Amino acid sequence: MDNRVDFPTSEQVEKATRDDLARWYRFLLPNGKEQQAILDKIADRFKKLGGMTPELSKRIGHGGA
């Protein structure tokens, strides 16, 4: 199964759920200035919505064993 996560657009970041933001925040690796700018926007919005919690971490796939 392919677990690759694609970079969202700026508009998608503005409309994203907290779970979407968490996945992007954790799994995206930027390639270039444009992707880094989007990742910065994801991080800012995600932090404003409360950031990561243990429950959210588990829900997106990295909650431990």
Q: Which residues neighbour 60 within 8 Å (Cβ) at sequence distance 6 or greater?
A: 19, 22, 23, 26
pLDDT value of position 4: 52
CB 61 within 8 A of CB 25: no
Residue 2 falls inside a structural domain: no
Each residue of 13-59: pLDDT tens digit?
999 999 999 999 999 999 999 999 999 999 999 999 999 999 999 99
Helices (H), the chain: 10-15, 18-27, 33-48, 54-59
Residue 4 falls inside a structural domain: no
Q: What is the total count of domains within the chain? A: 1
Residue 65 falls inside a structural domain: no
Amino acid at 18: R
Residue 64 falls inside a structural domain: no
User: What's phi and psi for 51, nearest 5 deg?
Assistant: 70, -160
